[in-house]
Amino acid sequence: MMEERKEKMEIAQVEEVAVPSLRFDERLMEGALDNAQKIAQLFKERMVDGIHYAKNLFPGQQKPTLLDPGAQLIMAAFSVYPDHQILEHRVERVAGQEYVEYVVKCELKLRGFNVKVAEGLGSASSDEVKYRYRWLPEEELLETYGFSPEELERLPKREVAGKVLRRVRNPEILDLSNTLLKMAAKRSEIDAVMQLPGVSEIFTQDIGERVIQRRGSRRPPSAFEKRLEEGEQ
């Protein structure tokens, strides 16, 4: 009987809890605007195109793309540090079907307090063009990997420093595990930094879109774009 009465009292107390109304907080607004102004100042005075961010990656790009060094600088300005967690790790080891993928979550925590202030997600896989393929000399493909001259003729071709290279599926996919983990972590950091006050007003993270849109245009890739696609970012 006493237990039943106690249960009813607890239910009544839960029902009496009022849901707080959504209110505009002028103090918080001032803080957000101040942060946005300081990020804009950091962008103009300290950040360098091609190092901290990238412009003109594709036609119609309206905001500069935030790169990893830029994200590091913004984290230092906000006095936060990244804390990573691997959410997913897939590996396929069947010959000819090798595949590696990572999905990483990054939490940004305030230094000295260990309080989470933002989080982001990042992924990387061996199916991305810059990891899936490699340009190798014809001699190496013939001697080391057993390609026939007829097979070589069917592969994409380019010349570098007098050598003929052919594009093939990367024969060392499984060796990319550490590289892909680091790339997923970097992307998760940038995604988390984009959640900090004022950052998304200035920057975007749409790196993937620029390849799709550029391929639909007629202009040749810039040197910076080539480095991005070849994995030198």
pLDDT in tens, 151-162: 999 999 999 888
**Structure confidence by residue, pLDDT tens digits, 48-85:** 999 999 988 777 788 899 999 999 999 999 999 999 99
pLDDT at 17: 60
- The pLDDT value recorded for residue 4 is 60
Q: Is the per-residue pLDDT at 229 higher than 60?
A: no
pTM: 0.74
pLDDT of residue 101: 96
pLDDT over threshold 90, residue 32: no
Most confident among 168-172, 180-184, 221-225 (mean pLDDT): 180-184
Tell me the residue ranges of DSSP E strands in the chain: 53-54, 65-66, 80-92, 99-110, 115-125, 133-137, 157-160, 163-169
- Give the rounded percent of residues in the chain with a pLDDT score beyond 70: 78
The mean-pLDDT minimum among 141-150, 189-198, 209-218 falls in: 209-218
Mean pLDDT for 3-16 is 56
Local confidence band at 231 (pLDDT 50, 70, 90 cut-offs) = very low
Query: Token pair 């390849």 is at which residue?
Result: 211
CB count in 10 Å sphere of residue 114: 9
CB 154 within 8 A of CB 166: no
**CA distance to 79, 81, 87, 190, per residue, from 58 (Å):** 32, 31, 31, 20
| 216/220: higher pLDDT | 220
| pLDDT score recorded for residue 34 | 81
Which of the residue ranges 57-61, 198-202, 212-216, 221-225 would you say has the lowest mean pLDDT? Answer: 212-216
Q: What is the arithmetic mean of pLDDT over 173-191?
A: 95
Is residue 37 predicted with pLDDT exceeding 90?
no
Burial pattern 214-232, b for ≥16 Cβ within 10 A else e, equals beeeeeebeebbeebbeee
Domain limits, the chain: 132-169
